[in-house]
Structures are given as C-alpha cells and as structure tokens.
Chains A and B, each alone.
Chain A
Amino acid sequence: MKRFIGFIRKEFYHIFRDRRSLFILFGMPIAQILLFGFAITNEINNVNIAILDHSKDTSTLEIINKISNSKYFSIKQIISREAEIESVFQKGKIKAVLNFEKDFGRNLIKKKSAQIQIITDATDPNTANSITNYINAILQNYLQEKNKSIQLDYQIIPQTRMVYNQELKSVFLFVPGVMTIILMLVSAMMTSISITREKELGTMEILLVSPLKPFQVIIGKVVPYIFLSIINAAVIVLLSIFIFKMPVEGSLILLGAESVLFIITSLALGILISTISDTQQSAMMISLMGLMLPVILLSGFIFPISSMPAPLQVISNIIPAKWFIIIIKGIMLKGVGLAFVWKETLILIGMTVFFIAVSVKKYKIRLD
C-alpha cells in the first residue's frame, strides 16, 4: 500500500509538472464549454413520431397521410389518451407527438380554425426545433392546397409544447456531450499517453524489473486519472447547475455511479491503446482519431443519430460514448431512474469487461 501511495504521488508530479497535461486537464474543459455558444442546426430525417387523434375525420387523416408520406417523419405509434404521452417520451424512441383536438375537421370548416398541438422532446433542442418547423411547413402546405380547391380561408393554429428542457437551452443538450468528451479525454487519452511515455523513456523497463507486478504498475498509473476525472465530472455538473441553471432531474448518486462506470470504460480503452502504441505521439493520434472523432461525430452529441445514414447508425452502437450520453441525458434531463437505463448500463459494463480482457491479453504478449 505504501508503495502504491509513492507511485501515485509520482504520477501527480508528472501531471502537475507537464504543461500539456495541465492544459488538457484544465484548459480543454474551458475550451469545450466555449463550444456551448455555437448553435448547431441539423437536418432531420425519418424522425419517429406518435399521433394522438381525438377527431379521426377526413382532414386529420389527410394531414396524417401527408406527414407520413414525407421523408422527414415516420409514424411509429397511435395513442388514444393524453396520459400516454409521458410514457411514450420516456422510452426515448418517439421525438414528437401530434395532438389533434376534438372535432378538428368540423372546426376547420365551421369556425375556419382548428387546433393541433405539437409536443416535442426537447432534450435535444436542435432537433425539437427542426421538427416543429417541418411539421408547420407540412400543415401550411396542406392548407394552401385546401384553400385553393375550395376558395376559402381556413387556418390551423398549431400550438407547440416542448417537454423536458422547456426553455430549449441548448447548453443542457451540450452538457452531457461535453462531459462525455472530457471524461474520455482525461481517462483514455491521458492514461494512454502517460503509459506510453514510460515506454518511450525506458522507465517502463525499470518498473517491470522492480518487484512491482505489471498490473500494479498499470493500476498505479490509472488511479490518479480516476480521481481527476471524477473531479472534472463533478465540476462540469456543478457548473451546469449553478451557472447555466440546469436542472438535474434524476438522482445525483446514479449520475455519479454511471459516470464512474464510464470513466472505467475509458480507462480500459486508454490501457488498450497503450498496449498497441510505443510512442506518446501514436497514443495521442490513436486516441484522437480512434476515440474523439467517433465520439464527436457518431455518438449523437452533435448530429442526431436518427438522421445519420443507416451504416453509421449501426456503427454508432459500438461507441461507448453513445450509450453513456443516452444514460446521462436520461438522468439529467428526463429524471429517469436505473429502470430506464439498465440496458445501456449493461452494454457499457460489457464493453468495459471486453476492453480489460483484451488489454490483459495484449499485455502478456507484449512482455513476451
């Protein structure tokens, strides 16, 4: 144990005496937070929606047909009661619910005005906004055709409502993504660099000649980064709560536990990278290209997974960050409990075990 503390102390010396480490540890999070400011607009494609039709007349049918014929939406569910809306959203597949008022068709003809409610899941505010705009466009289009054919002036009054994250603060959307990236950077990239550094300098050999076992060396190298990652995660969450006034709807304990799980997944990845690279440079390149890029592009952090081409959607499944983002979005923005994210959690655990097993195997080979 005493050996271990000495080892960890040494690791902290390395970190605090290296400008690059310090920058990645403390500068990157700040740089990332600046990203918050940028609004990113997205095209939408085949978004799953549900219909709640209280009227079931020819006009609602025509509108529903028009929507389902567009390439932007696919109608996945028909519900019959308001009470079902909440549960539909919690499952996470459905991004919007269209709620036609009672006597929609009759009101349209008699009062020349009918109401429809567009309820969107604003956990992802960019997408929610786009969905609303696209549906509005389809409704306008429908009215134009109608008005042309019977020379009358009807209108449909769409009423929009966003559930979860009602103010559409995109910061809230970015927090889970930024947190994921930072945890990944600190855990995977920094550990892989710090392990390959010892290889490059030749000190790894000295450590392996000492009575320390290889796994003790690795654990010693990894522990400081667990600490730092937890601190980073906590800082991000606290910043979001106190500066951006983000409500964390779910359990902080669950959020913490899931974050630790993801940190361990990333560390395992970092160790794996260090077993296949001999220089810090290559460890960094592999981390950036092999981890950061997919996280940014494919995890659903910036581009909604549902609007990616099918092959990329499939690939996105092997990215641990995707599952972590689903989990923490659920916990932070929807307030769901483990009952709703156990599947994603199991997937992360499975990936972690797999990465650790592969690195242990690789490590043995490398020590030939």
Chain B
Amino acid sequence: MKNENVIEVENLTKAFGAFKAVNAISFEVKKGEIFGFLGANGAGKTTAIKMLIGISHPTSGKAKVVDFDVYTQPEAIKRNIGYMSQRFALYDDLTVQENINFFGGIYGLSRKAIRQKSKDSLVELGMHEISSKLVGSLPLGWKQKLSFSVALLHEPKIVFLDEPTGGVDPITRRQFWEMIYKAADQGTTIFVTTHYMDEAEYCDRVSIMVEGKIEALDTPKNLKQQFKVASMNEVFLKLARNIE
C-alpha cells in the first residue's frame, strides 16, 4: 500500500432482490483520514458499512479493508477494525466496567491491558467514578462516548462509526468530535456516517450518497466551491434537488 489507502472500494453493490441498496460505489480512504460518509435516511450507508466490516456479503464489486479482501478475509478484517453500530449496543444490564471487561475480553486483550486501558479511558471520559453503575442508567450522550471508547479498546486501524451522534445534544456532540480528532491524531482512520451537515465540515473528506450511489466526493472546502455555496448543508440540498 504505497499510497497508504486503508480502504479501497470498487463498484461495490448490495442488492436485496431487485432493489439495489448500494449501487456500484467506488472510493478510497487514506490512513489517518476522517472520512465522512453522508446520505439521507435509507441512502444505503449502513448497508455499505456492513459489507466493509465483513458481516454482509456484497452482491458484486470489490472491496479491500486494511489490505484484506471482504470476500475472502473477513476474519482478518474483524481483528483490525472497531465498529460502533447505529443502534446503541452496549449491555444495559452490565456496569460500565463490566462492559469494558467483556468487550476487551472478546478481543483477546490481557486482563492487565484491559485494566490499564479502561482506567485511562474512564478518566478521560470523566466516568471513573461511575464505573460500577449500570450502563442502562446513564444518559445517552455518555453511553455513546463509552461505546466509542469500547470500539477503540483493541487499538483498531480503522474505526467505523455509524451515526454515533444521533439524538445527542450539541455539547456532547462537540465532545464526541474531540474524541474523534484525538483518535485520528493517534493514527486511527475514522469512517463516520452522520445526518448532521455541520459535522460534515469536521471531516477531511466527505462522500455524499443518494439512493445507493455516491454523487459527490471531495473535501468540504472543494465541494462548497464546486457547488458555489457557503455550507455543506446547501451542498447537500442542491445535490438532492439535482437528483430529483
């Protein structure tokens, strides 16, 4: 990988019957990049992510993630990525600490490593004092941040975040993005989907997906120039109108 692409996708397609939820998308993501994967409801973002993380078989096309093929090496991909699903997915009936221990454990981290890591991230999250509280009792914003830390526990090369800030207040969203920047600074590639167009401005590059196809892909700055508008929100609206 001379060009340091950690994701390479070519004509990737997923069809459910006759309906193409993802229709021949192609793009690359560079190492350490924050890649925004935008699109309206039902555009096919989650479907595309599921193919990239090895839990859904593509109908056709090619995809390589961390140098591994999605068709033949899903197990290798799984070891090298982190994933935060669109639905909040920690265990509500386990405490903060128990969740961390469990997920660290299934990624094969040693007990010592888990202890060290969980201490660090709990301090960072400001949650060290409530580590013995049930996750179900926490506000959504805290859960989301915890979920992100858990996805980073095993130091994945790429982390896939599917609408990590959905339904979260603006202040927590801001904090969340600080966490994303920090992870990116440490060399983790971030693949993030969002509905919020202001968040698109924080990404290094964004792709905009409409009805299964990628209709635009560039840096936020270039996209705004190309569409001659001042904000990503307008880019998005223009694009949607053009399609109609």
Where the two chains meet, the residues of A that have a C-beta atom closer than 8 Å to any C-beta of B are 2-3, 6-7, 9-10, 13-14, 17-18, 201-203, 205-213, 367-368
**Contact among A202, A205, A211 with B106 in the assembled complex (CB-CB below 8 Å):** A211
| Interface pairs (19), CB distance under 8 Å | A2-B105, A3-B106, A6-B102, A6-B105, A6-B106, A7-B102, A13-B93, A17-B93, A203-B89, A203-B90, A203-B91, A205-B55, A209-B78, A210-B78, A210-B103, A210-B107, A211-B75, A211-B108, A213-B75
Residue from A7, A205, A206 whose CB has the most chain B CB atoms within 10 Å: A206
Q: A211-B108, A367-B55 are in contact. Are A202 and B93 (CB under 8 A)?
A: no
Residues of B contacting A368 in the complex (Cβ-Cβ under 8 angstroms): 56-57
Is the pair A209, B108 in contact by a Cβ cutoff of 8 Å?
Answer: no
CB 8 Å contact bits of B74-87 with A (1 = contact, 0 = none): 01001101010111
Contacts of A367 in B (CB 8 A): 55
Q: Is the Cβ of A210 less than 8 Å from the Cβ of B88? A: no
Residues of B within 8 A of A7 (CB): 102, 105-106
Q: Which residues of B contact A17 (CB under 8 A)?
A: 93
Q: Across the interface, do A14 and B85 meet the contact criterion of CB distance under 8 Å? A: no
Contact B55 A14 (CB under 8 A): no
Within the complex, what minimum Cβ distance (angstroms) separates B194 from chain A? 18
Q: How far is the CB of A220 from chain B (nearest CB, A)?
A: 9
Task: Say how far A221's CB is from chain B's closest CB, in angstroms.
Answer: 13
Q: Let me know if B69 is at the binding interface, CB within 8 A.
A: no
C-alpha spacing A116/B97, complex, angstroms: 75
Question: Lowest 10 A-B CB distances belong to which pairs?
Answer: A6-B105, A202-B87, A202-B89, A209-B83, A17-B93, A206-B89, A10-B102, A203-B89, A210-B106, A211-B79
* Smallest beta-carbon distance B53→chain A, Å: 5
Residue B26 interfacial (CB < 8 Å): no
Q: How far is the CB of A149 from chain B (nearest CB, A)?
A: 79
Q: Cβ of B231: which chain A residues have Cβ within 8 Å of it?
A: none
Are B108 and A202 touching (Cβ within 8 A)?
no
Residue of A whose beta carbon sits closest to that of B134: A17
In the bound complex, what is the Cα–Cα distance between A202 and B91 (angstroms)?
10
Residues of A within 8 A of B102 (CB): 6-7, 9-10
CA distance A7 to B106 in the complex (A): 7
With contacts A2-B105, A6-B102, A212-B106 taken as known, whether A205 is within 8 angstroms of B78 at the C-beta atoms is no
* A-chain residues with CB within 8 Å of residue B55 when the two chains form the complex: 205, 208-209, 367
